[in-house]
Structure 1
Protein backbone atom coordinates (compact mmCIF):
# COMPACT_ATOMS: atom_id res chain seq x y z
CA UNK A 1 0.00 0.00 0.00
CA UNK A 2 2.75 2.43 0.95
CA UNK A 3 4.51 1.76 -2.33
CA UNK A 4 1.36 2.39 -4.37
CA UNK A 5 0.72 5.63 -2.44
CA UNK A 6 4.25 6.82 -3.22
CA UNK A 7 3.77 6.02 -6.89
CA UNK A 8 0.54 8.01 -6.89
CA UNK A 9 2.33 11.01 -5.35
CA UNK A 10 5.04 10.82 -7.98
CA UNK A 11 2.52 10.46 -10.79
CA UNK A 12 0.68 13.54 -9.52
CA UNK A 13 3.79 15.73 -9.94
CA UNK A 14 5.77 16.86 -12.94
CA UNK A 15 7.23 13.39 -13.19
CA UNK A 16 3.83 12.40 -14.52
CA UNK A 17 4.19 12.50 -18.33
CA UNK A 18 0.66 13.84 -18.74
CA UNK A 19 1.24 16.62 -16.17
CA UNK A 20 4.56 17.48 -17.79
CA UNK A 21 3.00 17.62 -21.23
CA UNK A 22 0.25 19.87 -19.90
CA UNK A 23 2.82 22.21 -18.32
CA UNK A 24 4.78 22.41 -21.57
CA UNK A 25 1.59 23.15 -23.46
CA UNK A 26 0.75 25.98 -21.06
CA UNK A 27 4.24 27.42 -21.46
CA UNK A 28 4.02 27.28 -25.25
CA UNK A 29 0.63 28.95 -25.15
CA UNK A 30 1.96 31.73 -22.88
CA UNK A 31 4.91 32.33 -25.20
CA UNK A 32 2.63 32.36 -28.24
CA UNK A 33 0.26 34.84 -26.65
CA UNK A 34 3.05 37.08 -25.25
CA UNK A 35 5.71 37.00 -27.94
CA UNK A 36 6.54 40.68 -27.59
CA UNK A 37 7.01 40.47 -23.83
CA UNK A 38 9.07 37.29 -23.96
CA UNK A 39 11.37 38.48 -26.75
CA UNK A 40 11.69 41.83 -24.98
CA UNK A 41 12.87 40.13 -21.79
CA UNK A 42 15.31 37.96 -23.73
CA UNK A 43 16.69 41.03 -25.53
CA UNK A 44 17.19 42.88 -22.24
CA UNK A 45 19.04 39.91 -20.74
CA UNK A 46 21.26 39.62 -23.82
CA UNK A 47 22.01 43.35 -23.71
CA UNK A 48 22.82 43.23 -20.00
CA UNK A 49 25.17 40.27 -20.38
CA UNK A 50 26.80 41.82 -23.43
CA UNK A 51 27.10 45.15 -21.61
CA UNK A 52 28.86 43.58 -18.64
CA UNK A 53 31.41 41.81 -20.80
CA UNK A 54 31.82 44.87 -23.01
CA UNK A 55 32.42 47.11 -20.00
CA UNK A 56 34.99 44.69 -18.58
CA UNK A 57 36.83 44.60 -21.89
CA UNK A 58 36.74 48.40 -22.16
CA UNK A 59 37.96 48.84 -18.58
CA UNK A 60 40.84 46.40 -19.09
CA UNK A 61 41.87 48.24 -22.25
CA UNK A 62 41.68 51.58 -20.46
CA UNK A 63 43.71 50.18 -17.56
CA UNK A 64 46.55 49.14 -19.84
CA UNK A 65 46.60 52.51 -21.57
CA UNK A 66 46.50 54.42 -18.29
CA UNK A 67 49.33 52.38 -16.81
CA UNK A 68 51.42 53.11 -19.87
CA UNK A 69 50.76 56.83 -19.47
CA UNK A 70 51.56 56.66 -15.75
CA UNK A 71 55.08 55.41 -16.35
CA UNK A 72 56.43 58.70 -17.68
CA UNK A 73 54.46 60.81 -15.21
CA UNK A 74 55.87 58.85 -12.27
CA UNK A 75 59.37 59.29 -13.70
CA UNK A 76 58.88 63.06 -13.78
CA UNK A 77 57.47 63.01 -10.24
CA UNK A 78 60.46 61.10 -8.89
CA UNK A 79 62.76 63.52 -10.72
CA UNK A 80 60.96 66.46 -9.06
CA UNK A 81 59.81 67.73 -12.45
CA UNK A 82 56.44 68.42 -10.89
CA UNK A 83 54.86 70.52 -13.65
CA UNK A 84 55.64 67.82 -16.23
CA UNK A 85 54.38 65.16 -13.83
CA UNK A 86 51.11 67.02 -13.35
CA UNK A 87 50.46 68.37 -16.85
CA UNK A 88 52.40 66.11 -19.18
CA UNK A 89 55.07 66.89 -21.74
CA UNK A 90 53.02 67.15 -24.92
CA UNK A 91 53.54 63.51 -25.80
CA UNK A 92 52.64 61.89 -22.49
CA UNK A 93 49.77 62.77 -20.19
CA UNK A 94 50.29 64.10 -16.70
CA UNK A 95 48.59 62.92 -13.54
CA UNK A 96 45.71 65.39 -13.76
CA UNK A 97 44.68 64.23 -17.24
CA UNK A 98 45.17 60.57 -16.37
CA UNK A 99 42.98 60.97 -13.29
CA UNK A 100 40.24 62.58 -15.40
CA UNK A 101 40.38 60.53 -18.59
CA UNK A 102 40.92 57.15 -16.93
CA UNK A 103 38.87 57.64 -13.78
CA UNK A 104 37.39 54.12 -13.94
CA UNK A 105 40.81 52.50 -13.73
CA UNK A 106 43.13 51.72 -10.84
CA UNK A 107 45.84 53.75 -12.54
CA UNK A 108 43.50 56.74 -12.78
CA UNK A 109 42.75 56.41 -9.09
CA UNK A 110 46.45 56.26 -8.26
CA UNK A 111 47.02 59.35 -10.41
CA UNK A 112 44.89 61.25 -7.88
CA UNK A 113 47.35 60.28 -5.14
CA UNK A 114 50.38 61.35 -7.15
CA UNK A 115 48.72 64.58 -8.26
CA UNK A 116 47.88 65.41 -4.65
CA UNK A 117 51.42 64.68 -3.52
CA UNK A 118 52.84 66.79 -6.37
CA UNK A 119 50.59 69.76 -5.59
CA UNK A 120 51.59 69.50 -1.93
CA UNK A 121 55.25 69.73 -2.93
CA UNK A 122 54.47 72.76 -5.06
CA UNK A 123 52.69 74.46 -2.17
CA UNK A 124 49.26 74.31 -3.85
CA UNK A 125 47.56 72.99 -0.74
CA UNK A 126 43.92 73.29 -1.78
CA UNK A 127 44.59 71.38 -4.99
CA UNK A 128 46.53 68.78 -3.04
CA UNK A 129 43.59 68.20 -0.72
CA UNK A 130 41.12 67.87 -3.59
CA UNK A 131 43.13 65.21 -5.40
CA UNK A 132 44.07 63.28 -2.28
CA UNK A 133 40.43 63.17 -1.17
CA UNK A 134 39.52 61.69 -4.57
CA UNK A 135 41.99 58.86 -3.98
CA UNK A 136 40.76 55.64 -2.39
CA UNK A 137 42.57 52.39 -1.69
CA UNK A 138 42.46 49.31 0.51
CA UNK A 139 46.24 49.35 0.74
CA UNK A 140 47.53 49.61 4.31
CA UNK A 141 50.38 51.99 3.51
CA UNK A 142 49.13 54.17 0.67
CA UNK A 143 45.66 55.06 1.98
CA UNK A 144 46.98 56.00 5.42
CA UNK A 145 49.72 57.99 3.74
CA UNK A 146 47.12 59.86 1.67
CA UNK A 147 45.26 60.86 4.85
CA UNK A 148 48.54 62.01 6.38
CA UNK A 149 49.36 64.14 3.33
CA UNK A 150 45.95 65.76 3.63
CA UNK A 151 46.89 66.53 7.22
CA UNK A 152 50.16 68.06 6.04
CA UNK A 153 48.28 70.30 3.62
CA UNK A 154 45.93 71.49 6.35
CA UNK A 155 48.89 72.13 8.66
CA UNK A 156 50.43 74.35 6.00
CA UNK A 157 47.12 76.20 5.76
CA UNK A 158 47.14 76.52 9.57
CA UNK A 159 43.82 74.72 9.77
CA UNK A 160 44.98 72.64 12.68
CA UNK A 161 41.69 70.99 13.65
CA UNK A 162 41.25 69.65 10.12
CA UNK A 163 44.89 68.56 10.12
CA UNK A 164 44.44 66.66 13.38
CA UNK A 165 41.35 64.95 12.01
CA UNK A 166 43.22 63.81 8.90
CA UNK A 167 46.17 62.53 10.93
CA UNK A 168 43.77 60.69 13.23
CA UNK A 169 42.20 58.99 10.21
CA UNK A 170 45.66 57.97 9.06
CA UNK A 171 46.46 56.50 12.48
CA UNK A 172 43.15 54.66 12.71
CA UNK A 173 43.23 53.21 9.20
CA UNK A 174 44.11 49.54 9.74
CA UNK A 175 46.08 50.62 12.81
CA UNK A 176 49.46 48.98 13.25
CA UNK A 177 52.70 49.44 15.15
CA UNK A 178 54.67 50.55 12.10
CA UNK A 179 52.81 53.68 10.98
CA UNK A 180 50.07 54.49 13.51
CA UNK A 181 52.43 55.92 16.17
CA UNK A 182 53.87 58.42 13.70
CA UNK A 183 50.43 59.60 12.60
CA UNK A 184 49.19 59.75 16.19
CA UNK A 185 52.13 61.93 17.14
CA UNK A 186 51.40 64.28 14.23
CA UNK A 187 47.75 64.36 15.31
CA UNK A 188 48.78 65.28 18.85
CA UNK A 189 50.93 68.16 17.61
CA UNK A 190 48.04 69.41 15.47
CA UNK A 191 45.65 69.15 18.41
CA UNK A 192 48.07 71.23 20.48
CA UNK A 193 48.27 73.90 17.79
CA UNK A 194 44.48 73.91 17.65
CA UNK A 195 44.40 74.54 21.39
CA UNK A 196 42.83 71.18 22.16
CA UNK A 197 45.24 69.90 24.81
CA UNK A 198 42.90 67.19 26.04
CA UNK A 199 42.82 65.46 22.68
CA UNK A 200 46.56 65.99 22.34
CA UNK A 201 47.17 64.26 25.66
CA UNK A 202 44.82 61.44 24.65
CA UNK A 203 46.78 60.88 21.43
CA UNK A 204 50.07 60.84 23.34
CA UNK A 205 48.54 58.42 25.84
CA UNK A 206 47.52 56.04 23.07
CA UNK A 207 51.12 55.94 21.89
CA UNK A 208 52.31 55.29 25.45
CA UNK A 209 49.75 52.55 26.09
CA UNK A 210 49.68 50.76 22.76
CA UNK A 211 52.95 51.55 20.99
CA UNK A 212 55.53 51.39 23.76
CA UNK A 213 58.11 49.86 21.39
CA UNK A 214 57.85 52.66 18.81
CA UNK A 215 60.25 55.52 18.18
CA UNK A 216 57.53 57.93 19.28
CA UNK A 217 57.11 56.41 22.75
CA UNK A 218 59.68 58.55 24.59
CA UNK A 219 58.68 61.70 22.74
CA UNK A 220 55.02 61.07 23.59
CA UNK A 221 55.88 60.79 27.30
CA UNK A 222 57.92 63.98 27.18
CA UNK A 223 55.33 66.01 25.28
CA UNK A 224 52.45 64.76 27.41
CA UNK A 225 54.32 65.65 30.61
CA UNK A 226 54.89 69.12 29.20
CA UNK A 227 51.11 69.58 28.93
CA UNK A 228 50.62 68.61 32.56
CA UNK A 229 47.68 66.72 34.09
Structure 2
Protein backbone atom coordinates (compact mmCIF):
# COMPACT_ATOMS: atom_id res chain seq x y z
CA UNK A 1 0.00 0.00 0.00
CA UNK A 2 1.27 3.47 -0.98
CA UNK A 3 2.00 5.74 1.92
CA UNK A 4 0.56 9.25 1.41
CA UNK A 5 2.31 12.31 2.88
CA UNK A 6 -0.47 14.20 4.61
CA UNK A 7 1.53 17.47 4.40
CA UNK A 8 1.27 17.33 0.59
CA UNK A 9 -2.50 17.30 0.72
CA UNK A 10 -3.87 20.87 0.13
CA UNK A 11 -5.79 22.04 3.10
CA UNK A 12 -8.96 24.01 2.81
CA UNK A 13 -8.81 27.31 4.74
CA UNK A 14 -11.61 27.73 7.15
CA UNK A 15 -13.73 30.89 7.30
CA UNK A 16 -11.91 32.29 10.33
CA UNK A 17 -8.53 32.05 8.59
CA UNK A 18 -9.89 33.76 5.48
CA UNK A 19 -11.29 36.64 7.51
CA UNK A 20 -8.03 37.06 9.45
CA UNK A 21 -6.04 37.10 6.23
CA UNK A 22 -8.42 39.63 4.69
CA UNK A 23 -8.16 41.90 7.73
CA UNK A 24 -4.36 41.75 7.62
CA UNK A 25 -4.44 42.79 3.98
CA UNK A 26 -6.74 45.71 4.76
CA UNK A 27 -4.49 46.88 7.60
CA UNK A 28 -1.38 46.59 5.44
CA UNK A 29 -3.08 48.55 2.63
CA UNK A 30 -4.27 51.21 5.09
CA UNK A 31 -0.74 51.63 6.52
CA UNK A 32 0.72 51.85 3.03
CA UNK A 33 -1.85 54.46 1.99
CA UNK A 34 -1.26 56.49 5.17
CA UNK A 35 2.52 56.45 4.59
CA UNK A 36 1.96 57.64 1.03
CA UNK A 37 -0.32 60.44 2.25
CA UNK A 38 2.24 61.56 4.86
CA UNK A 39 4.94 61.54 2.18
CA UNK A 40 2.82 63.67 -0.17
CA UNK A 41 1.91 66.14 2.60
CA UNK A 42 5.56 66.40 3.68
CA UNK A 43 6.58 67.02 0.08
CA UNK A 44 3.92 69.74 -0.27
CA UNK A 45 5.09 71.42 2.94
CA UNK A 46 8.68 71.47 1.65
CA UNK A 47 7.60 72.87 -1.72
CA UNK A 48 5.38 75.53 -0.13
CA UNK A 49 8.07 76.53 2.36
CA UNK A 50 10.59 76.90 -0.44
CA UNK A 51 8.10 78.89 -2.50
CA UNK A 52 7.28 81.21 0.39
CA UNK A 53 10.95 81.75 1.16
CA UNK A 54 11.57 82.59 -2.48
CA UNK A 55 8.53 84.89 -2.55
CA UNK A 56 9.66 86.76 0.59
CA UNK A 57 13.17 87.16 -0.79
CA UNK A 58 11.75 88.44 -4.09
CA UNK A 59 9.41 90.86 -2.27
CA UNK A 60 12.24 92.17 -0.09
CA UNK A 61 14.29 92.97 -3.20
CA UNK A 62 11.28 94.72 -4.75
CA UNK A 63 10.71 96.63 -1.53
CA UNK A 64 14.25 98.01 -1.55
CA UNK A 65 13.82 99.08 -5.18
CA UNK A 66 10.51 100.74 -4.34
CA UNK A 67 12.13 102.70 -1.51
CA UNK A 68 14.91 103.89 -3.79
CA UNK A 69 12.55 104.81 -6.62
CA UNK A 70 10.18 106.75 -4.33
CA UNK A 71 12.85 108.81 -2.57
CA UNK A 72 12.40 111.96 -4.69
CA UNK A 73 8.62 111.64 -4.79
CA UNK A 74 8.49 111.48 -0.98
CA UNK A 75 10.70 114.59 -0.88
CA UNK A 76 8.16 116.41 -3.08
CA UNK A 77 5.34 115.16 -0.85
CA UNK A 78 7.02 116.53 2.27
CA UNK A 79 7.56 119.82 0.44
CA UNK A 80 3.79 119.79 -0.34
CA UNK A 81 4.41 119.73 -4.07
CA UNK A 82 1.71 117.14 -4.48
CA UNK A 83 1.54 117.16 -8.27
CA UNK A 84 5.21 116.22 -8.64
CA UNK A 85 4.87 113.80 -5.74
CA UNK A 86 2.11 111.97 -7.58
CA UNK A 87 3.27 112.23 -11.19
CA UNK A 88 7.06 112.63 -10.92
CA UNK A 89 9.24 115.36 -12.38
CA UNK A 90 10.26 113.80 -15.69
CA UNK A 91 13.48 112.39 -14.25
CA UNK A 92 12.17 110.64 -11.16
CA UNK A 93 9.14 108.42 -10.73
CA UNK A 94 6.05 109.70 -8.98
CA UNK A 95 4.27 107.84 -6.21
CA UNK A 96 1.64 106.48 -8.60
CA UNK A 97 4.24 104.85 -10.86
CA UNK A 98 6.16 103.39 -7.92
CA UNK A 99 3.03 101.79 -6.47
CA UNK A 100 2.14 100.38 -9.88
CA UNK A 101 5.66 99.03 -10.43
CA UNK A 102 6.02 97.40 -7.01
CA UNK A 103 2.60 96.16 -5.86
CA UNK A 104 2.19 94.14 -2.66
CA UNK A 105 5.33 95.59 -1.10
CA UNK A 106 5.46 97.28 2.28
CA UNK A 107 6.62 100.47 0.61
CA UNK A 108 3.67 100.46 -1.80
CA UNK A 109 1.33 100.00 1.15
CA UNK A 110 2.78 103.07 2.85
CA UNK A 111 2.78 105.08 -0.38
CA UNK A 112 -0.95 104.41 -0.78
CA UNK A 113 -1.40 106.52 2.36
CA UNK A 114 0.82 109.26 0.91
CA UNK A 115 -1.15 109.21 -2.33
CA UNK A 116 -4.44 109.43 -0.44
CA UNK A 117 -3.23 112.49 1.47
CA UNK A 118 -1.91 114.10 -1.73
CA UNK A 119 -5.22 113.60 -3.54
CA UNK A 120 -7.09 115.00 -0.53
CA UNK A 121 -5.03 118.20 -0.76
CA UNK A 122 -5.86 118.35 -4.46
CA UNK A 123 -9.56 117.95 -3.56
CA UNK A 124 -9.72 114.70 -5.56
CA UNK A 125 -11.64 113.07 -2.75
CA UNK A 126 -12.84 109.91 -4.49
CA UNK A 127 -9.30 109.07 -5.60
CA UNK A 128 -8.07 109.82 -2.09
CA UNK A 129 -10.50 107.31 -0.58
CA UNK A 130 -9.59 104.74 -3.23
CA UNK A 131 -5.93 104.72 -2.21
CA UNK A 132 -6.54 105.14 1.51
CA UNK A 133 -8.66 102.00 1.44
CA UNK A 134 -5.67 100.12 0.01
CA UNK A 135 -3.41 100.93 2.96
CA UNK A 136 -3.45 98.61 5.97
CA UNK A 137 -1.12 98.79 8.95
CA UNK A 138 -0.60 97.03 12.28
CA UNK A 139 1.51 99.58 14.08
CA UNK A 140 0.44 102.17 16.66
CA UNK A 141 0.41 105.26 14.47
CA UNK A 142 -0.18 104.61 10.78
CA UNK A 143 -3.49 102.71 10.78
CA UNK A 144 -5.14 105.26 13.05
CA UNK A 145 -3.63 108.02 10.92
CA UNK A 146 -5.06 106.46 7.75
CA UNK A 147 -8.54 106.32 9.31
CA UNK A 148 -8.19 109.90 10.49
CA UNK A 149 -7.32 111.04 6.96
CA UNK A 150 -10.37 109.17 5.67
CA UNK A 151 -12.38 111.07 8.24
CA UNK A 152 -10.87 114.32 6.95
CA UNK A 153 -11.83 113.39 3.37
CA UNK A 154 -15.42 112.65 4.32
CA UNK A 155 -15.52 115.86 6.34
CA UNK A 156 -14.32 117.83 3.29
CA UNK A 157 -17.12 116.19 1.30
CA UNK A 158 -19.64 117.32 3.90
CA UNK A 159 -20.33 113.76 5.04
CA UNK A 160 -19.74 114.50 8.72
CA UNK A 161 -21.52 111.40 10.00
CA UNK A 162 -19.17 109.12 8.08
CA UNK A 163 -16.25 111.32 9.10
CA UNK A 164 -17.15 110.84 12.76
CA UNK A 165 -17.19 107.07 12.25
CA UNK A 166 -13.60 107.05 11.01
CA UNK A 167 -12.40 109.50 13.66
CA UNK A 168 -13.82 107.17 16.30
CA UNK A 169 -12.11 104.17 14.69
CA UNK A 170 -8.85 106.09 14.80
CA UNK A 171 -9.37 107.17 18.42
CA UNK A 172 -10.03 103.63 19.64
CA UNK A 173 -7.32 101.87 17.64
CA UNK A 174 -4.61 100.93 20.14
CA UNK A 175 -5.75 103.75 22.37
CA UNK A 176 -3.02 106.05 23.64
CA UNK A 177 -2.74 109.45 25.31
CA UNK A 178 -0.72 111.01 22.47
CA UNK A 179 -3.04 110.62 19.49
CA UNK A 180 -6.42 109.39 20.72
CA UNK A 181 -7.53 112.69 22.34
CA UNK A 182 -7.00 114.60 19.09
CA UNK A 183 -9.05 112.06 17.13
CA UNK A 184 -11.82 112.28 19.73
CA UNK A 185 -11.93 116.07 19.34
CA UNK A 186 -12.29 115.65 15.57
CA UNK A 187 -15.07 113.12 16.14
CA UNK A 188 -16.84 115.50 18.55
CA UNK A 189 -16.74 118.33 16.02
CA UNK A 190 -18.11 116.03 13.29
CA UNK A 191 -20.89 114.77 15.58
CA UNK A 192 -21.87 118.31 16.51
CA UNK A 193 -22.01 119.24 12.81
CA UNK A 194 -24.92 116.79 12.40
CA UNK A 195 -26.54 117.77 15.71
CA UNK A 196 -25.50 114.58 17.49
CA UNK A 197 -24.75 116.51 20.66
CA UNK A 198 -24.86 113.51 22.96
CA UNK A 199 -22.19 111.70 20.95
CA UNK A 200 -20.08 114.86 20.83
CA UNK A 201 -20.45 115.24 24.61
CA UNK A 202 -19.30 111.65 25.19
CA UNK A 203 -16.19 112.25 23.08
CA UNK A 204 -15.11 115.16 25.27
CA UNK A 205 -16.11 113.30 28.40
CA UNK A 206 -13.94 110.37 27.35
CA UNK A 207 -10.97 112.72 27.06
CA UNK A 208 -11.64 114.13 30.52
CA UNK A 209 -11.91 110.68 32.10
CA UNK A 210 -9.23 108.75 30.22
CA UNK A 211 -6.74 111.39 29.15
CA UNK A 212 -6.82 114.17 31.77
CA UNK A 213 -3.10 114.87 31.31
CA UNK A 214 -3.35 115.33 27.55
CA UNK A 215 -3.28 118.66 25.75
CA UNK A 216 -7.08 118.62 25.54
CA UNK A 217 -7.85 117.05 28.91
CA UNK A 218 -7.91 119.78 31.53
CA UNK A 219 -9.10 122.73 29.52
CA UNK A 220 -10.70 122.25 26.11
CA UNK A 221 -12.48 118.96 26.79
CA UNK A 222 -13.87 120.16 30.15
CA UNK A 223 -15.24 123.38 28.67
CA UNK A 224 -16.73 121.68 25.62
CA UNK A 225 -18.30 118.88 27.68
CA UNK A 226 -19.85 121.51 29.97
CA UNK A 227 -21.18 123.49 27.00
CA UNK A 228 -22.67 120.44 25.30
CA UNK A 229 -24.27 119.14 28.50
CA UNK A 230 -26.55 122.19 28.38
CA UNK A 231 -27.80 121.11 24.95
CA UNK A 232 -28.73 117.59 25.98
Q: TM-score range by the shorter chain?
A: 0.7 to 0.9
How big is each residue's C-alpha offset from its partner over 1:60-88, in whole Å with a ceiling of 9 and x where there is no partner? 11111111112111011112221111122
After TM superposition, list the pairs within 5 Å mapping 1:55-74 onto structure 2. 55-74=55-74
Distance in 2, matches of 1:222 and 1:40, equals 69
After TM superposition, list the pairs within 5 Å mapping 1:129-148 onto structure 2. 129-148=129-148
Instruction: Classify the secondary structure of the residue corresponding to 1:192.
Output: helix
Does the alignment pair 1:223 with 2:224? yes
After TM superposition, list the pairs within 5 Å mapping 1:1-229 onto structure 2. 44=44, 47-217=47-217, 218-227=219-228, 228=230, 229=232
User: How high is the TM-score relative to the length of structure 2?
Assistant: 0.77
Root mean square deviation of aligned Cα: 2.5
How big is each residue's C-alpha offset from its partner over 1:21-71, in whole Å with a ceiling of 9 and x where there is no partner? xxxxx89xx69xx8xx99977875564343223212211111111111121
Deviation at 1:193, TM superposition (A): 0.4
Moved more, 150-159 or 79-88: 79-88
Q: 1:48 to 1:122 in 2, by over 3 A?
A: same
Bigger proportion of residues as helix: 1
Unaligned runs of 5+ in 1: 1-25
Q: 1:145 to 1:45 in 2, by over 3 A?
A: closer
Distance in 2, matches of 1:85 and 1:207, equals 36
Question: What is the number of equivalent residue pairs in this alignment?
Answer: 199
Q: 1:161 to 1:58 in 2, by over 3 A?
A: same
How big is each residue's C-alpha offset from its partner over 1:117-167, in whole Å with a ceiling of 9 and x where there is no partner? 111111212221221121111221222111111111111111001110111
Deviation at 1:104, TM superposition (A): 1.5
Q: 1:224 to 1:88 in 2, by over 3 A?
A: same
Distance in 1, matches of 2:142 and 2:43, equals 44
